[in-house]
Amino acid sequence: MKAIRYEGAGKMAVAESDKPKLSSSTDAILRVTTSGICGSDLHMYDGRTPLKKGTVVGHEIMGVIEEVGEAVRSIKEGDRVVLPFNIACGYCYNCIRGFTNSCLTMNPEKAHAAYGYAGMGPFGGGQAEFVLVPYADFNCLKLPGTPGDQWEDDFLLLSDVFPTGYHGAEMAAVTPGKSVAVLGGGPVGLLAAYSSVLKGAAEVYVIDRVPERLDKAKELGAIPVDFLKGDPVEQIFELRKKNKGIQGSLRPGEEKLKGVDCVVDAVGYQAQPDKERVPSAEKPTQPLENAARLVNPAGGIGVVGVYIAPDPGGRTEQEKQGIYPIPVAELFDKSVTIGFGQTPVKRYNEYLRDMIVAGRAKPSKIVSHRIHIEEAPDAYDKFRQRTQGYTKVLIKFGKLAA
């Protein structure tokens, strides 16, 4: 089968790989119809995470079941499914509590597992024609329709970025009427903003510097903030200060609420410093510093941007171990609630699927490019450079590739 393999920093290659085989009676083999290139894949592409050369990558996966093990009961050959990027057993202490992002059994090294990702277990990725699905009954979300229909791209985004954006909004405690700022306008940031709109937020700001991302944020119902035009935190303060509806409703003392109720960090450790025009510049603490300044007293912050250790590209020994100085005193002083971590996709994907089917949600609005597998290495490079409008890239397989 054809697959995308990691061949070293800055190099992904299309290569022939062995088609996976059932290794357990609870497994299934999935014939992939669509797979996505995720922003977090770029951490490996940049050589910022240790990954074995030749690894098949990709954790955003959907398709049709080709084969099932004899113990699989609820999923059968021919079923259309999407896979959470978290691989989970469904029976360990964390899984039964709903924390499938911290499954204790699937990865011998750490409390989480995923397809084709550094440090996330021995599982092959899904930027390939076929992928092995462990514990298929638990890990497959059954889908209506047929490959290539009006829901194909929407359903693919249930594997990661739509639930992850929604999880960011959940951890930040977004509810109807609240004000929200999303740091980063990549796929997760855009869908965190979109999720906030779906949850009824009164106003949503998205901070980024890429024109196509800012335009897309506006299309999704958010207010774009370009950090190259000045301090983004001060820009939001000023926008709220100029809003007569907001200012006219404040009681004495409430002028202290000059920021927002909820902040989502959808950037992570490869953030660029504010006002920086050099794409290669980094400031890992920039999102958390901005979040601390932006969030109102008693507000919430959800961190779904990736922070990884070890990081061979860190500028200091501490950064290489994922240790950063953040404004803890300011967060304490404001009585802020903070949530960190990967998304337990299964907590949300069934409900988000039904929102798509009902026509209430259309996350595929963020998709910018649909490509054939042979175009993937070039797409990785363009996505990394954030050029030519590369916002969200989907790889099509089989008949859909035509």
pLDDT tens digit string along 196-228? 999 999 999 999 999 999 999 999 999 999 999
Domain ranges of the chain: 2-160+344-401, 162-340
Predicted local confidence at residue 277, as pLDDT: 67
How far apart are alpha carbons 35 and 229 in whole angstroms?
35
State the burial class of residue 281 (Cβ atoms within 10 Å of its Cβ: 0-12, 13-18, 19+): exposed
Nearest to 136 by CA among 20, 290, 244: 20
How far apart are alpha carbons 222 and 180 in whole angstroms?
9
Residue 341's region, left for phi above 0, alpha for psi from -120 to 50, else beta, is: left
Predicted local confidence at residue 313, as pLDDT: 85
Q: Which residues are 103's β-sheet partners?
A: none
Task: Report pLDDT digits (tens) over 102-124.
Answer: 999 999 999 999 999 999 999 99
Report the length, in residues, of the chain: 402
Predicted local confidence at residue 387, as pLDDT: 83
Predicted local confidence at residue 327, as pLDDT: 95
How far apart are alpha carbons 166 and 219 in whole angstroms?
18
Stretches in the chain below the pLDDT threshold 50: none
Instruction: Report the predicted TM-score, pTM, of the whole model to 2 decimal places.
Output: 0.96
Predicted local confidence at residue 308, as pLDDT: 87
The DSSP secondary-structure symbol of 105 reads S
Ordered alpha helix ranges (H), 27-97: 41-45, 93-96
Q: Buried b vs exposed e over 171-208: b needs ≥16 C-beta within 10 Å?
A: bbbbeeebbbbbbbbbbbbbbbbbbbbbbebebbbbbb
The DSSP secondary-structure symbol of 68 reads E
- Express as a percent the part of the chain with pLDDT over 90: 88
Residue 210 CB contacts under 8 Å (≥ 6 apart), including other chains: 185, 386
Predicted local confidence at residue 373, as pLDDT: 96
CATH C-level class of 162-340: alpha beta
The DSSP secondary-structure symbol of 134 reads S
Predicted local confidence at residue 50, as pLDDT: 82
Average pLDDT over the chain reads 95
**The CATH number of domain 2-160+344-401 is 1.10.3720.10:** no
Tell me if 85 sits within 8 A of 112, measured CB to CB: no
Ordered alpha helix ranges (H), 100-231: 136-139, 152-156, 161-171, 187-198, 211-219
Predicted local confidence at residue 402, as pLDDT: 67
